[in-house]
Structure 1
Amino acid sequence: MEESDVNKRIAARVRQLRAERELSLEALAERSGVSRSMISLIERGETSPTAVLLERLATGLSVTLANLFEPPATAATPVSRRSDQPVWRDPASGYVRRNVSPPGTLTPIQIVEVEFPAGASVAYDSGPRQKPAHQQVWVLDGTIEVTIGTQHYRLETGDCLAFVLDQPTAYRNRTRKPARYAIAIVMGTP
């Protein structure tokens, strides 16, 4: 899937989620900390938002970041073919994320694969959501550092970290080699 197609998908999905929650642009801006004008640009597909910006919108909409990459009003299907999985590159950090899970609501679990470039970092100022977002980060190749609030973890190939996404979270790759990891996400109490 091309980057412009992913940005269009994000635009449609943000509009859909905002409408479902009966939120005005102003209300979503207040809940997310993203300006009304930026939300408008995103909803029209006229900008390439960063991962940090999308995470703020996801928090304001009470969904996970992965939800923003699902097609709007999608019919649930049990299979997600690799060729249909949306791939998106964060314009700020260069990391590439691929939503692996089938779109829709067949399961509360979402799986995302991330390719994290050497030297890259991304920091989310996540806070509590209406429903808690439980995550597990499983390093498939390489080394990353994850900071959750004040706790710092160095993860190497095969390591897995479980946490609730309710405080600032940062990912760093201080090495000279790219890293690859999977994130499993469950919304609500498991």
Structure 2
Amino acid sequence: MDISARLARRIRELRDARGLSLDGLAERSGVSRSNISLIERGQSSPTAVVLDKLSAGLGVTVASLFEDGAAPVAEPSPLARPAEQPVWTDPASGYVRRNLSPASHSPLQLVEVRFPAGQRVAYETAAREVETHQQVWMLEGTMEVTVGDAHWRLEAGDCLSMRLDRPIVYRNPTRKPARYLVALATLPFMPTRRNG
């Protein structure tokens, strides 16, 4: 199945599983009803920013949007060979993401990103139904990452840890592509208790 068809099916499955109409998901995500409809029919290729908004509206990680949501006949394999790893290219920035994790259900997801020179992607990352922690480990090149008001310049070998609960901007300020590994871990959302 091609990546656009997989995304279309998965977004529709997640929306249906949550009992959300197109209008309901549009309201929760900030993505227009017509755009969601086009994406679900495979007639529009969403950008990374739109996928981030949809994942927040659905209460999942972006990586979850690339999973094969169909009910498996047998237990999913704990091994994901390169040919089985979904690869997607952001039509706006040209960044390429490869979901490395196997289909077996795990709270940990690994994603490899190849980020073109001079490009920038800004996520408005909203609160999700799950608490998501992310680490970015630079393999090659340089990236500037802004999380909320904090800013870092990452070089090969650097590893940055963050929670996905505030706006994040990724920028490659150089003339060379960058490559990094993203590790995501999800925990059930635990509302903050007030003392008293």
TM over 0.5: yes
Q: TM-score range by the shorter chain?
A: over 0.9
Structure 2 contact 14–58 (Cα < 8 Å) conserved: yes
Distance in 2 (alpha carbons) for counterparts of 1:78 and 1:170: 32
State the 1:60 CA deviation: 0.3
Secondary structure of 1:188's aligned partner: strand
State the 1:72 CA deviation: 2.2
- Which residue number corresponds to residue 26 of structure 1? 23
- Which residue number corresponds to residue 177 of structure 1? 176
- Which residue number corresponds to residue 141 of structure 1? 140
Alignment map for 1:106-117 (pairs within 5 Å)? 107-117=106-116
Distance in 2 (alpha carbons) for counterparts of 1:74 and 1:123: 33
Q: What letter is aligned with 1:26?
A: D
Whether 2:40 is the aligned partner of 1:43: answer yes
Secondary structure of 1:132's aligned partner: strand
Change in 2 beyond 3 A, CA 1:74/1:83: farther
Secondary structure of 2:185's aligned partner: strand
Structure 1 contact 74–104 (Cα < 8 Å) conserved: no
Distance in 2 (alpha carbons) for counterparts of 1:81 and 1:123: 30
Alignment map for 1:11-90 (pairs within 5 Å)? 11-75=8-72, 76-90=76-90
Secondary structure of 1:171's aligned partner: strand
The two structures have a TM-score, normalised by structure 2, of: 0.92
State the 1:127 CA deviation: 1.6
Q: What letter is aligned with 1:137?
A: V
Aligned-pair Cα RMSD in Å: 1.3
- Which residue number corresponds to residue 126 of structure 1? 125
Distance in 2 (alpha carbons) for counterparts of 1:164 and 1:104: 23
Structure 2, gaps ≥5 residues long: 189-196
Structure 2 contact 114–180 (Cα < 8 Å) conserved: yes
Structure 2 contact 144–152 (Cα < 8 Å) conserved: yes
Structure 1, gaps ≥5 residues long: none
Superimposed CA distance per residue, residues 120-177 of structure 1 (whole angstroms, 9 cap, x where no aligned partner): 1100001211211100000011110100011001000000000100010000000111
State the 1:77 CA deviation: 1.8
State the 1:74 CA deviation: 4.8
Structure 2 contact 109–183 (Cα < 8 Å) conserved: yes
Superimposed CA distance per residue, residues 1-42 of structure 1 (whole angstroms, 9 cap, x where no aligned partner): 7xxx10000000001001111111111000000011111001
State the 1:71 CA deviation: 1.4
Q: What letter is aligned with 1:145?
A: E
The two structures have a TM-score, normalised by structure 1, of: 0.95
Q: What letter is aligned with 1:16?
A: E
Aligned residues: 186
Q: What letter is aligned with 1:136?
A: Q
Distance in 2 (alpha carbons) for counterparts of 1:12 and 1:153: 36
Secondary structure of 1:184's aligned partner: strand
Distance in 2 (alpha carbons) for counterparts of 1:104 and 1:158: 29
- Which residue number corresponds to residue 98 of structure 1? 98
